[in-house]
Amino acid sequence: MPVYGNLIGGKWLKSASGKTFESLDPSTGRPIGSFQASTVRDIDKAVAAARKAFPGWKATPPPERGQALYRIAGLLRKEKERLARLETREMGKALNEARGDVQEAIDIAEYMAAEGRRLLGHTTPSELPDRFCATVRQPVGVFGMITPWNFPIAIPAWKMMPCLLAGNTVVFKPSSDTPLCAIEFVKVLMKAGIPPGVVNLVTGSGRDAGGPLVRHRAVDGISFTGSRDTGVWITKNAGLKKVGLELGGKNPIIVMDDADLDLAVDGVLWGGYATTGQRCTACSRVIVHEKVKDRFQKKLLARIRKLRLGSGMKPGVDVGPLVNEAAVKKTESYVELGKKEGARLCCGGKRVPGKGYFFQPTLFTDCRPGMRICQEEIFGPVVSLIPVRGFRQAVDAANNTDYGLSSAIYTSDMGNAFRAIGMLETGITYVNSSTIGAEVHLPFGGTKATGNGTREAGIEGLNEFTETKAVYIDYSGRLQKAQKIK
């Protein structure tokens, strides 16, 4: 079985601990490689390498940095099928979805590459004569990146591309469930000509590698996607760093009585069961008008029972495995909890016997908004139907959660559609579409416990990785005092 190293200062190294861990194929439970179980000593080396590389990368003109991103996009396009197959093998999602994950990385690389010619600030008039005022963007410094396993190429790319374009250097700590995807992604960056030390990769546990990275005094920023509890810990332990957090969701789809029910079923299937429900934007709550609840539920059940469960490598598979045994046990526990809370189990609810971490697509009905299965992020193929009497009750049910990432409404009433856009407490709202499917030129992020206000992608995606400097150029030839001071 191959053994993979950490990338520090352009070299592949063993960890200081001398220990390794395995990454498993979730469709079989078999190991696919051994990876370094890193500790604080490895983090120290990686941060030192990033700090050393920072002045040179910062001094590289932004258009030149953008050209490196264009090369990354081109290499990712050439490697798309290989990387997608690797992702399916290591993470488990259906191959066609994995291709979409790599395409997302291509798209964000191309989008951010173009920003190398802009990196926009703004100009503004001065309150004084013969003075020019403007703002410019500057890099923050060394960024620590901690990413999840569910989009093991797209999410690192969403963070890495604007971070590098802005002139920062990186220490990247990927999920221990998908370290090989991270390594192969970083190899593409190196092949594209990113200088040694600008991007460093250290594998290991959150406790032994992630924690020291968050607390490190020579790290200037942290970008994290993952659980709310970990995000709270980072907030308490990062110190005076720039911190960006994306912490999940409990995303609702509202189905009104005037909705196209077949279209809504398509949206719920894609939102609730694609990636086996393991998306921060997954639709885990369907808030359906009582007038159409029975018809909608019948249509949805018929489609769920046709979903094909199996290895993501097999053609025609709709739902792959959960990522690991812990995810199976967590999903099982929520199914039992839903039953105890009084929700009615319509289908699924059990793990699939045999090899791998497969779980049946599951549907609960007759749920109440306050039930824990309607409040807490399950991260499995479990969807709950909540009946409501009208539009206002639907919006109230949708907002009745600590999270605020994505939302959707299916309706033919554009008045209600626009009212929902204003009333739903989420960072993203879809009309007559599912809760997932971000486009890289639009900002991605949420409200409430979904994060700390960070937006990734789009022009706002640069804000996380830049500092804004105000510039004043006085050409009056005399001392001018602002605020009308004589």
Q: What confidence tens digit (pLDDT) does each residue in 307-333 have? A: 999 999 999 999 999 999 999 999 999
Query: What is the pLDDT, as a whole number, of residue 301?
Result: 98
Six-digit token string for 443: 């900002």
Angle at 408 between CA 425 and CA 362, to 5 degrees: 110
Between the CA of residue 169 and those of 101, 197, 258, 476, what are the distances in Å?
24, 8, 51, 39
Interior/surface letters 222-239, b for 16+ CB within 10 angstroms, e for the rest:
bbbbbbbebbebbeeebe
DSSP H/E element including 409: strand 406-410
Contact 410, 432 (CB under 8 A): yes
Q: Distance between CA atoms of 390 and 117, rounded to whole angstroms? A: 49
The answer to whether 26 and 125 are in contact (CB under 8 A) is no
* 246 in catalytic set: yes
Amino acid at 34: S
Fold of 251-431: Aldehyde Dehydrogenase; Chain A, domain 2 (3.40.309)
pLDDT digit string, tens, across residues 467-478: 999 999 999 999
Decide if 447 contacts 425 (C-beta within 8 A).
yes
State how far the Cα of 7 lies from the Cα of 131, in Å rounded to an integer.
48
Q: CA-based diameter of the chain, in Å?
A: 83
25-48 pLDDT per residue, tens: 999 999 999 999 999 999 999 999
Determine which one of 280, 283, 346, 374 is catalytic.
280
Q: 158: which 2 tokens? A: 């969403």
Q: What is the pLDDT of residue 397?
A: 98
What are phi and psi for residue 111, nearest 5 degrees?
-65, -50
- State how beta strands 382-388 and 362-365 pair: parallel
92 phi, psi to nearest 5 deg: 110, -15
Give a three-class secondary structure readout of 247-300. Answer: CCCCEEEEECCCCCHHHHHHHHHHHHHHHHHCCCCCEEEEEEECCCHHHHHHHH
- Residue 134 tokens, joined: 């403007």
Chain centroid to CA 107: how far?
A: 15
Tokens of 432: 């007559």
**Distance of alpha carbon 262 from alpha carbon 250, whole angstroms:** 23
362 bridge partner residues: 382
Residues 147, 182 contacting (CB under 8 angstroms): yes
Q: Is the pLDDT of residue 484 over 90?
A: no
Q: What is the CATH class of 6-247+451-471?
A: alpha beta
User: What CA–CA distance (Å, rounded) separates 404 from 382?
Assistant: 19
pLDDT tens digits for range 10-20 = 999 999 999 99
Closest CA to 26 of 319, 348, 267, 296: 319
Q: How far apart are CA 225 and CA 177, in angstroms?
A: 14
DSSP H or E stretch at residue 321: none
Numbered ranges of CATH 3.40.605.10 in the chain: 6-247+451-471
What local confidence, expressed as pLDDT, does residue 327 receive?
A: 97
Higher pLDDT, 483 or 43: 43
Name which of 117, 115, 170, 174 is nearest 140 in CA terms. Answer: 170
Euclidean distance between CA atoms 272 and 414, whole angstroms? 25
* Residue 1: pLDDT over 90: no
Residue type, 134: A
d(CA 407, CA 356): 32
Instruction: For residue range 139-180, list pLDDT tens digits in order.
Output: 999 999 999 999 999 999 999 999 999 999 999 999 999 999
Q: Could you read off the pLDDT of 365-375 as tens digits, one per residue?
A: 999 999 999 99
State yes or no: pLDDT of 486 exceeds 90.
Answer: no
Model confidence at 394: pLDDT above 90: yes
For residue 124, the model assigns a pLDDT of 97
280 is catalytic: yes
- What number is the average pLDDT over the span 108-127? 96
Given the residues 87, 184, 246, 456, select the one marked as catalytic: 246
Residue range 261-274: average pLDDT?
Answer: 98
Contact by Cβ (8 Å): 476, 456: no
* Mean pLDDT, all residues of the chain: 97
**pLDDT for residue 437 is more than 90:** no
- pLDDT band (50, 70, 90) for residue 72: very high
Residue 279: Cβ within 10 Å count: 24
Residues of the chain with CATH 3.40.309.10: 251-431
Tokens of 304: 């769920």
Helix or strand (DSSP H, E) at 395? helix 391-399
pLDDT of residue 409: 98
Q: Find out whether 109 and 463 touch, Cβ atoms under 8 Å.
A: no
What mean pLDDT comes out for the span 405-425?
A: 98
